[in-house]
Amino acid sequence: MVLYNLPFIAAGLLMAFGIAAMLLRRNLIKMIMGLSLVEAGVNLLLVSLGYRAGGIAPIFTNAPRDLMVMPTVQAMTLTNIVIGIATTALLLSFVMVIYRRYGSAEADVVRRLRG
C-alpha cells in the first residue's frame, strides 16, 4: 500500500520543497528552480494517476488487447512540460535583464517597486 502510494507522496514532497525554496531563497534563480520543482511535482502526480499495475505502454500497434496505462495524463504531462520550458525560458530571460540593469539577482536588491 505504501509502495503504491509512494509516487503520490513523492509528488507532494517535491511540491512542498519547491514552494519552500520559492519562499525561503532570496536568489531569483533559486526561486525559479523552486518553481520548476513544483512543476515536476505536478507532473509526477499526473503520470502516477495514469499508472495501472502491470500496464504496458499505450501504443496501439504493439499489443492493443493487454492492460495499458492511461495515455491521457501522459499527454497532459507532456503539454505541461512544454509550457514549463516556455515559462522557465521567459523567467530566466527576465532575470538576465534584471541582472544586467540592477547588477544583482538577489530578491532583497530587486525591490524598486513599492507602495
Question: Exposed (0-12), middle (13-18) or buried (19+): which is 111, by Cβ within 10 Å?
Answer: exposed
Residues in contact with another protein by the rule CB under 8 A: 15, 22, 28, 31-32, 35, 38-39, 42, 45-46, 49, 57, 59-64, 72-73, 76, 78-80, 82-83, 85-87, 89-98, 100-102, 110, 112-113, 115
Closer residue to another protein in complex, CB, 54/103: 103
Closer residue to another protein in complex, CB, 3/111: 111
User: Cβ 5 to another protein, closest distance in Å?
Assistant: 12
User: Cβ 17 to another protein, closest distance in Å?
Assistant: 14
| C-alpha gyration radius of the chain | 19
DSSP assigned state of 25: -
Q: In residues, how long is the chain? A: 115
User: Cβ 4 to another protein, closest distance in Å?
Assistant: 14
CB neighbours of 46 closer than 8 A, spacing ≥ 6?
A: 73, 76, 77, 80
